[in-house]
Structure 1
Amino acid sequence: MKIYIKNMVCDRCIMAVRSEFEKSGIHPLAIELGQVELLNEWDEKNKLLLKKRLEELGFEIVEDKIRITVEKIKSLIIALVHHQNLGLKVNLSSYLAQNLAQDYNTLSNLFSEVEGVTIEHFFIKQKIEKVKELLTYNELSLSEIAYKMNYSDVAHLSNQFKKITGITPTKFKLLDKNKRTQIDHL
């Protein structure tokens, strides 16, 4: 049995969700971004208690099929941008269609309808947040970041960064308090 959970965006989220399940006496077979796999069905009492505990931590159990698909799309994009070192050199539409075994146009329409933004816009916002993170670390040059994030050149990265944030990457680096957005708030 799979349970889908909204707002799981990092390894720490996985650890927090695992901890809550185990505190409830439920030992998951596997936990990934956005989902928990259980060996057996769970009773309503455990479900309600766990749902409350997860909500206190900012997570939400998703039961609607459409919402589950949207959360799967988000989880795949977040994993691709923030956790997998693929250099983002994949075709996003093919990547999503293949991983979800559904037509990309269907996924795209569903995502836009539920989230109010396109998959591509969500993907770009995730990439810009990753760029902000890399800029904050100050370990890579802007051209290295552009290459790592699969931008054609620094100008393309800078234009997209400014379009999303309102400032250039260079200006962002100069800010005293770099303004990053939590991934689950994008």
Structure 2
Amino acid sequence: MVCNRCKMVVEQELTKLGFKADHVTLGEVTLPESELSKEQLERIDQALLQVGFERIDDRKARLIESVKNKIIERVHHVDSIDRKFNWSDILADELNHDYNSLSNLFSSVEGITIEQYIIRQKIERAKELLFYDELNLSEIALKLGYSSVAHLSSQFKKITGLTPSELKKSRKPQDVRNPLDAVQ
């Protein structure tokens, strides 16, 4: 789940199945039932698949999903990123795991590093902000924690093949924007 609407849809699907979630956050649902039957899990899986989600039961997969959700939350839902904050410290502290083990697991399963994933999420956010046309490139760079417009522009070009200005001129978000859960 990567947004509030995602959380709402998952909660609605669980309610339709007769479950009342204690807690729904990005990527995690807590149900009051401690043990669910195989049939109940299959019903939940079917309902979630029909709306484009899947239940992750594997511990390593859950941990990777947690890493992604923490990054998405900070890049897309926090008003501005402090250039001085350290992603490795944040992820290690919030997920209670050693960063090196998180990084190795993430890379082995996802095929990209955590740093590359962060960059790609930042570029998606930059695309979104460019289309809103409320901030200039300097403000976007600052908001996303870049040290300079040049740094943002070079990463932007490397990922998208376009400069931010070229993308802004194209005005075709459907051609260049990606759903957050599809960013890889």
Q: Return the TM-score normalized by structure 2.
A: 0.94
**What is the CA-CA distance between 1:80 and the residue it aligns to?**
0.8
Q: Do the aligned partners of 1:80 and 1:88 also contact (CA within 8 Å) in 2? A: no
**What is the CA-CA distance between 1:176 and the residue it aligns to?**
3.4
Deviation per CA, 1:77-113, whole angstroms, max 9, x where unpaired? 1111111224244210000000111110000000000
Q: Which residue of 2 is the match for residue 66 of structure 1? A: 60
Distance in 2, Cα, partners of 1:168 & 1:86: 22
Q: Which residue of 1 is the match for residue 171 of structure 2? A: 176
Q: Which residue of 2 is the match for residue 84 of structure 1? A: 78
Q: Report the AA paired with residue 87 of structure 2.
A: L
Q: Report the AA paired with residue 44 of structure 1.
A: K
Q: Which residue of 2 is the match for residue 36 of structure 1? A: 29
Q: Do the aligned partners of 2:131 and 2:171 also contact (CA within 8 Å) in 1? A: no
Q: Do the aligned partners of 1:81 and 1:88 also contact (CA within 8 Å) in 2? A: no
Q: Report the AA paired with residue 178 of structure 2.
A: T
Report 1:1-186 matches (<5 A).
8-41=1-34, 42-89=36-83, 90-178=85-173, 179-186=176-183
Q: Report the AA paired with residue 155 of structure 1.
A: A
Please give the secondary structure, in 1, of the residue aligned with 2:129. helix
Q: Do the aligned partners of 2:129 and 2:140 also contact (CA within 8 Å) in 1? A: yes
Distance in 1, Cα, partners of 2:37 & 2:30: 15
Q: Report the AA paired with residue 181 of structure 1.
A: N
**What is the CA-CA distance between 1:44 and the residue it aligns to?**
2.2
Q: Report the AA paired with residue 139 of structure 2.
A: E
The structure in which a higher percent of residues are strand is 1
Please give the secondary structure, in 1, of the residue aligned with 2:55. strand
Superposition RMSD in Å: 1.0
Distance in 2, Cα, partners of 1:176 & 1:54: 33
Q: Does the C-alpha gap of structure 1 residues 155 and 164 become closer, same or farther in structure 2, counting only changes over 3 Å?
A: same
Percent identity between matched residues is 47
Please give the secondary structure, in 1, of the residue aligned with 2:65. helix
Where structure 1 has 5 or more consecutive residues not aligned to the other structure, the ranges are: 1-7
Q: Return the TM-score normalized by structure 1.
A: 0.93
Moved more, 55-64 or 42-51: 42-51
Moved runs in structure 1, 4+ residues, more than 4 A?
none
Where structure 2 has 5 or more consecutive residues not aligned to the other structure, the ranges are: none
Moved more, 129-138 or 63-72: 63-72
**What is the CA-CA distance between 1:43 and the residue it aligns to?**
2.5
What is the number of residues matched between the two proteins?
Answer: 179
